[in-house]
Chains A and B, each alone.
Chain A
């Protein structure tokens, strides 16, 4: 995760431009008007990448989540403020609406491979919901997965054991049709999650 802040800012700018293009794109195949997240006007397909799950087994993201509502989030365990809020809010919907939990795959990718062991990731996710999938990988694999998902790759800030990680703060939602109709930035409310996940699970593909 080395690299200068400058180069990462450039990466970010490219990502922002890409999102901008996506947002001004036209055409909407499905009714997403009731979504309260940030609706992507020209949704992008779910990426394909393989990382390692908390059992140490390969996890092919595209294949394993095919046909399910998939919530993809890149974070890290030492983050006490933003990451747990997203995960806890999604876990709350799982508790309230079992039908959503049954048809949804939550995939948390740790972008802090130096500190977050598979066991620690499992322990962390179990505090929200034992069904949440946790992934890790080498720095290169993680960077490639983030780029494939259209988020700027995370990088570390600060020295010593207490370093922080700058990472994409939003959750990407791929509906069962395999497209990311919406994303959820930090600040999304519980009621918005509850509303949107019920809509997203029913967006089926045409084929």
Chain B
């Protein structure tokens, strides 16, 4: 009984924190590897503030088009990549986009300078559209140290 009460209270708190009653995910660590070729990758961490959701699209002004991708490192070390329709953000958990895993690929990207910030629109299935700022970083620093 006590446990159920705690769950209820957490629900109320979570709802209170959402902007205008919605549950927009919190996005942090948004970064784009400085473009070195025709394409660049955008990474970020999205943390759920409510029910599960799905990232269904993204947009930027600095590239011809945008796709959601997953890099795959096979057991034998071979690297591959595939396009996905959406990324799942579990309830109360985080969705992490990082090198070697999920990323938003910017195809036909403009030349961008390290330190520059880029406005990115993320489209979620439930909460809709949000705008974030991603910083352009040296590719050596996309995955940290």
Contact = CB atoms under 8 A, between A and B. Distances in A.
Contacts of A92: 138, 140
A186 B36 contact: no
Best-surrounded residue of A12, A77, A79 (most CB of chain B within 10 A): A79
Interface string A156-179: 011000101011111000000000
Contacts of A191: 145
A16 B75 CA distance: 9
A152 B139 contact: no
A187 B100 contact: yes
Nearest to B69: A81
Interface stretch (B2-10, B13-21, B79-87, B122-130): B79-87
A80 B76 CA distance: 21
B40 interface: yes
Best-surrounded residue of B74, B103, B106, B143 (most CB of chain A within 10 A): B143
Interface in A13-30: 13, 15-16, 19
A197 to B, nearest CB: 14
A113 interface: no
A130 interface: no
The DSSP consensus for interface residues of chain A is mixed
A50 interface: no
Given A81-B69, A85-B142, A92-B140, A186 B40 contact: no
A15 B77 CA distance: 11
Interface residues of A, number: 38
A187 B98 CA distance: 11
Interface string A43-79: 0000000000000000000000000000000000111
Nearest to A126: B36
Contacts of B142: 85
B39 A80 contact: yes
B80 A152 contact: no
B58 to A, nearest CB: 14
Contact of A164 (B36, B81, B103): B81
B51 interface: no
Q: Top 6 closest A-B pairs, CB basis? A: A169-B79, A88-B140, A88-B139, A84-B139, A166-B80, A77-B37
20 contacts: A12-B74, A12-B78, A13-B76, A77-B38, A78-B37, A79-B79, A80-B33, A82-B71, A84-B33, A88-B141, A120-B37, A164-B82, A166-B79, A168-B77, A169-B73, A169-B78, A185-B73, A186-B77, A189-B144, A191-B145
